[in-house]
Amino acid sequence: MKFVGLLISLSLIPSLSFALADVSLRNNSTGLLKCELRINDKYIPFARLEPRERKLFPGFKLGSAARCFIHIDERSTTVFTYFTIGSSGEYELLSERVECPTCAEPAKGRLATIVVPPNGQAHFTELK
C-alpha cells in the first residue's frame, strides 16, 4: 500500500501546465476494476476498486493519461480503455457488450470497459 500511495503522490505533483482538481472513480461493474496512470512513458497502477466501490482522489493532476480494465472472471478481462482525466468530477466505469466486427463471433460482440467522464460522453477503446 505504501508503494501505491507513493505513485499517487507522484501523479499529484503540481506542474505549470496542469491544474489540480478533485476526481473520483466509480466502479459500476460486477468485476474488479484496475486503473493505471501514464507517468514518464510508463503506466503505473493507481486504482483498484471492488464492484460498486467509489474512490476520491483530491488534488488530482488534470490532463493525466489513464487506462483501465475490468475483470470478467478468473481468467478474462476487458481490453484497456485509454482516456484523459481532463476535468474534475466523477468518472464512472462499467462493462457493457459492444459491437466487434473483427471478433471471432461478430454478432456476439465483446465486453468493453466503458468510461463515462463528468461530461457524460461515454468512451471505450474500439478494436480494429
Contacts of 3 (CB under 8 A, 6+ apart): none
Is it the case that residue 15 has pLDDT exceeding 90?
no
pLDDT digits (tens, 9 = 90+) for 37-73: 999 999 999 999 999 999 999 999 999 999 999 999 8
Q: What nine digits make up the cell of 26?
A: 466509480
- Domains of the chain, CATH where assigned: 2-12+21-116 (2.60.40)
Q: What nine digits make up the cell of 124?
A: 471505450
Is it the case that residue 116 has pLDDT exceeding 90?
yes
Query: How many residues appear in the chain?
Result: 128
Amino acid at 30: T
Asked if residues 30 and 111 have their Cβ atoms less than 8 Å apart, the reply is no
Q: What is the DSSP string of 63-122?
A: TEEEEEEEB-SSS-BPPPEEEEE-SSEEEEEEEEEE--TTSSSTTT-EEEEEEE-TT---
- For the segment 20-39, the average pLDDT, to the nearest whole number, is 96
pTM for the structure as a whole: 0.81
The pLDDT of residue 5 is 43
